Amino acid sequence: MVSSVGVHNVTGDPAAAAKKGVEDAQQVYSGKWKGVGESMVFSMNHQVAPKAEALKCNVCHSPTGVMDFKKLGYSEEQIKDLTIPR
């Protein structure tokens, strides 16, 4: 079963996540919600699995990695800093 957080993480759609959360709680959903800004502190350990199970850095931080930093809104300079050269 996918949680409401999972819906947001997969789709990026806060309305779909809100709907899923309300359904999971077996509540009535008006379809109305209001987004609010918040700050998030990213853990220095990237919250990875134990070393033996962890992905290697280049899985995300390489030119062919799974992270599309441009689509995520990073500047070219930030992308350069976040990308491990081949």
Burial of 40 (0-12, 13-18, 19+ CB in 10 A): exposed
Question: 3-state class of 22 per DSSP?
Answer: helix
Q: For residue range 16-72, list pLDDT tens digits in order.
A: 888 998 999 999 999 888 888 888 776 666 666 788 888 888 898 998 888 899 998
Greater confidence (73 vs 4) lies with 73
pLDDT confidence of residue 51? 81
Give the list of residues 6+ apart from residue 42 with CB closer than 8 angstroms, or none: none
Please state, in angstroms and rounded to a whole number, the distance separating the CA atoms of residues 17 and 36. Answer: 15
**Confidence (pLDDT) at 79:** 92
Res 33: pLDDT: 85
pTM over 0.75: no
| 6-14 mean pLDDT | 83
